[in-house]
Structure 1
Amino acid sequence: MASEPRTPAETSTPCTTAVGCRTVSKVWAQGTARAHEALRDIDLDIGPGEFVAFLGPSGCGKSTLLYLIAGLEQATGGEIQSFGKVVAAPSPDRSLIFQETSLFPWLTVWQNVSFGLSIRGDGLDQRKSVAREALQRVGLAEAMEKRPDELSGGMRQRVAVARALAMRPKVLLMDEPFAALDVQTRQKMQDFLIDVWRESSASVLFVTHHIDEAVALADRVVVFTARPGRIKTIVPIDLPRPRDPFSRECEALRRQLTDLLRDEVDRAFAEQEALAESV
């Protein structure tokens, strides 16, 4: 495994931004009695090949921002661009991986991986070739003909990553993809993801609730406030990979991120309690 980190400076050009958010806001159920503000005035640039983690309390809009960048939802205010083009709809250039793998149980592994290609109209031989290549990249080439229920949780998540990679995205959006895995499997998946990321050269936007995970993976950690979600601060992590979680540098980063989140988590809990009392 390579030990040197890639940085945005190594992979980006001065005028190119993989994702650019300008005063992006989102109000769910706008104009109704159930309206609530999820995001407010998000300004953020992600460089090509950069790995960025989103960290914040529950309900702060981290996942909402991913859906907006994916084009699955429309912002209430502001604008999102990807490589100079306004994001108005989903695109193969931006692949979203959910917490749940959402594999089709009646399809084989390779058919699941190539599902997007079939919708695009690619031929059978092309789909199978691309699926084989993607599965090789995630170490599951021998599972081509298996069904999802024959795989472990970690293997199913790797299939989900392969399905995203099959579309050759420039931006990989990941919404707590390892949250349901046990600690040991999650650690293995983190190592695997770093290898895949290096090989693909895609930008990765990774939502997590785990400070340890953010410290292990990211070039930068975007810390969100409690709802409405705003960017409280962005913490750069300039450490070689793989990172020693017991090093003084990683411990200092964990303490810094814990301190940054403490007030936001308290605010989020207080808001949830107030909502529960009003019901």
Structure 2
Amino acid sequence: MTEQAFADVAPKRCGQPPLVTCTGVGKTWETDGEPFVALRDIDLEVARGEFVVFLGPSGCGKSTLLFLMAGLEQATEGRIVCGGAEVHAPGTDRGLVFQEASLYPWLTVGENVTFGLKMQHVPKDRRRQVAQEILERVGLSEAIDKRPDQLSGGMRQRAAVARALALKPEILLLDEPFAALDVQTRARMQDFLIQVWRQAGVSMVFVTHHIDEAIALADRIVVFTARPGRIKTIIPVDMPRPRDSRSPAFHALADRLTDLLRDEVDRAFAEQERIK
């Protein structure tokens, strides 16, 4: 194993307790008809400093589990513990990045980044200092006084990541944050996110539909079944970073994941047709 590869996986081997533990987690929504079971029997741990990717077909509950971990939704079965405390509501220990950047258009980039600090009554000068430090980390130091509509899509998502980092969370939860970006920008944003992960030392849980994206980013890939979502398997990715998508190892893992997901995608399509 190369020195860089060891640096990427070392946080998971230091003997610390997991940062996040999901035990028997399920989520069911009551409807006018049959109950809608989104997730069932989820047992999962996320280590401190680990990069975990959720991969599965549309509607399998990946984002639902992310929102349960964030405290935006409540599990109907089981429990989720983060940093030793059971999750019942959002907290500053967990940062969340959505598919859309969701920046306030009337605020500057710097004001968006430090909005959470403003809600905590942090003085204006200190907020400005934090914004400068974090925006420099994500390569947006010159955008601090710009409005979100003056930024490209990739820059807006970098600002959204910066906003999540401003509160110094222990874990970042990312719900397909690069889905709307073109292929070239997506690849650059993946490199950017790995750099931020290394620098910040946070855990990351990242939701995607894209097999290549999962391989490029993850320490471990959690493969979900079709709804009701269960964990089908968890695959460690032992390739050193940066990962060459043209390498035989990359292609072999992509083929394995494609085989694992084929039946689940077919089941998901059949379920969607049944609902229609």
When residues 170 and 64 of structure 1 are mapped into structure 2, their CA distance, relative to the original with a 3 A threshold, is same
Give the aligned CA root-mean-square deviation in angstroms: 1.4
1:258 and 2:258 correspond: yes
- Distance in 1 (alpha carbons) for counterparts of 2:133 and 2:125: 12
- Distance in 1 (alpha carbons) for counterparts of 2:168 and 2:185: 26
Letter in 1 for 2:139: G
Higher alpha-carbon deviation: 30-39 or 47-56: 30-39
- Distance in 2 (alpha carbons) for counterparts of 1:104 and 1:13: 40
1:122 and 2:122 correspond: yes
3-state DSSP of counterpart to 1:267: helix
Counterpart in 1 of 2:190? 190
- Distance in 2 (alpha carbons) for counterparts of 1:258 and 1:198: 28
What is the 5 A alignment of 1:145-184?
A: 145-184=145-184
Counterpart in 1 of 2:24? 23
What stretches of structure 1 move > 2 A for 4+ residues in a row?
A: 2-15, 30-35
Unaligned 5+ residue runs, structure 2? none
Letter in 2 for 1:234: I
Q: Normalization by structure 2: what TM-score?
A: 0.96
Aligned pairs, how many? 274
When residues 105 and 31 of structure 1 are mapped into structure 2, their CA distance, relative to the original with a 3 A threshold, is closer
When residues 206 and 160 of structure 1 are mapped into structure 2, their CA distance, relative to the original with a 3 A threshold, is same
- Cα offsets for 1:125-184 (capped at 9, x unmatched): 111111111101100011100000000000000000000010111010000000000000
3-state DSSP of counterpart to 1:274: helix
- Distance in 2 (alpha carbons) for counterparts of 1:249 and 1:130: 41
Q: How far off is 1:12 after superposition?
A: 5.7
Q: How far off is 1:205 after superposition?
A: 0.2
Q: How far off is 1:240 after superposition?
A: 0.6
Contact 2:105/2:149 (<8 A) preserved:
yes
What is the 5 A alignment of 1:211-250?
A: 211-250=211-250
- Distance in 2 (alpha carbons) for counterparts of 1:239 and 1:5: 10
- Distance in 2 (alpha carbons) for counterparts of 1:32 and 1:93: 36
Contact 2:11/2:50 (<8 A) preserved:
no
Percent identity over paired residues:
63
What is the 5 A alignment of 1:194-209?
A: 194-209=194-209
Q: Normalization by structure 1: what TM-score?
A: 0.95
Q: How far off is 1:14 after superposition?
A: 2.9
- Cα offsets for 1:48-95 (capped at 9, x unmatched): 000000000000000000000000110001000012111111111101
Contact 1:5/1:239 (<8 A) preserved:
no
1:59 and 2:59 correspond: yes
Unaligned 5+ residue runs, structure 1? none
